[in-house]
Structure 1
Amino acid sequence: MRIPRFPEPAATGSVTIHATAAQAYAVISDPTAMARFAEETYRARWLDGGTHAVVGARFQGWNRNGLRRWATRCRVTDAAATQRFAYEVTVTPLDVPISRWQYDIAPAEQGCAITETNWIRVPLWFVPVAILVTGVRNRMGANGAHIGTTLERLKAHLEAVPSPRP
């Protein structure tokens, strides 16, 4: 199956958080924790005995939009502590590519800046199926809005956690 590669991101957003890069990475690289902040994903679990982010680790995510529910499988592609966490998303049982999600962490004057980026990877033939399953016609617009929501929730969570003392 040919996997389309769109060089430009479908959606991106950034936020500056008053937390260390290590604190941010600890949450971002744990899909089971990030599910609390996401708009569509409501649950995740590591697969194959995995317990943390390493390149090649896999996890499953459960998503929702209203009454619609669907699951995806994800494979970690980048796991650079305090710098980047990224994964590729597929849908089973056909292992159809869906998207790539990436979180970049950079130092900021008072904490760190987090940029969340999404690329669409879904083959054109699968788009009508994805719309039927998810109920989302404008996936790029929805992902852009979801990124904003996720980052604001993540910021609120991390800024509520006491920072370590120097």
Structure 2
Amino acid sequence: MRRVTTVFDSIHVAADPLVVYRQISDPTLMGRWSPENLGATVHQPRESSYVGMEFDGVNKRGFTKWVTRCVVTAADPGSHFAFQVQAIGARKPWIRSGIASWAYHFTPEPGGTRVTETWTDDRERWPNAAVQVFDRIVTGGDTFAQFQAKNIARTLRNVKKQLEAQTAG
């Protein structure tokens, strides 16, 4: 059976695309919305995200905590933000490998923005059997695609709730 390597979802947010982009493209803020990410540290000084910018994301699932090294691959204000997870480790990201890519598209709609979040499994060199065993152990029974689909839906609901509350207030 061929494994699913890309999942996505979208939601309407009653806020301007540039406002939504500025929030989501700041990796230090992702911990506000994500069920796993606790935030990030950006390595270089910056005013906004840019292609090539590196950051370390701190993540937690249950009692397990890990750090990822990520590199921004797209930074088009109000339109598209993406990054690749290129390394991972328990305390610092020392295992270098294709892990995952994340992308966010911001499409203007009447009254706001359609935000689409996409996760792509970059573990291309892993044998399918190894992926299936690993995924079910670390996710509690799901494939990573199933697990990330749930995380994406939750993240998008949290983004909507927080950004709409900010723009209404």
* TM-score range for the pair, normalised by the shorter chain length: 0.7 to 0.9
SS at structure 1 position matched to 2:163:
helix
Cα distance change, pair 9–139 in 1 and its aligned pair in 2 (3 A)? closer
What SS class does the counterpart of residue 35 from structure 1 fall into? helix
Identical counterparts, % of pairs: 29
- Matched letter for residue 32 of structure 1: T
In 1, the alpha carbon distance for the partners of 2:61 and 2:22 equals 27
Structure 1 match to 2:138: 135
- State the partner residue of 2:69: 73
RMSD (CA atoms): 2.4
1:158 aligns with 2:154: no
5+ unaligned residues in a row in structure 2: which ranges? none
CA offsets per residue over residues 6-29 of structure 1, 9 Å max, x none? 9x7521000001000111011010
Distance 1:14 1:109, change over 3 A: same
TM-score, reference length from structure 2: 0.84
Residues 103-153 of structure 1: CA distance to partner in whole angstroms, max 9, x if unpaired? 000011111100000110013167489649x82251111100000000000
1: CA distance, partners of 2:158 / 2:37: 13
Matched residue SS, 1:135: helix
With normalisation by structure 1, the TM-score equals: 0.85
* Structure 1 pair 161–119 and aligned structure 2 pair: CA distance change class (3 A): same
Match of 2:80 among 84, 96, 103: 84
Counterparts of 1:19 and 1:112 in 2: how far apart (Å)? 6
Letter in 2 for 1:109: P
1:145 aligns with 150
- Pairs aligned (count): 157
Partner of 2:36: 40
Distance 1:59 1:50, change over 3 A: farther
User: Where does structure 1 lack aligned partners over 5 or more consecutive residues?
Assistant: 1-5
Which has the higher relative contact order, 1 or 2, with Cα contacts under 8 A spaced 6 or more apart? 1
Q: Secondary structure at the match of 1:161?
A: helix
User: How far off is 1:163 after superposition?
Assistant: 6.0
Structure 1 residues 121-130 or 148-157, which shifts more? Answer: 121-130
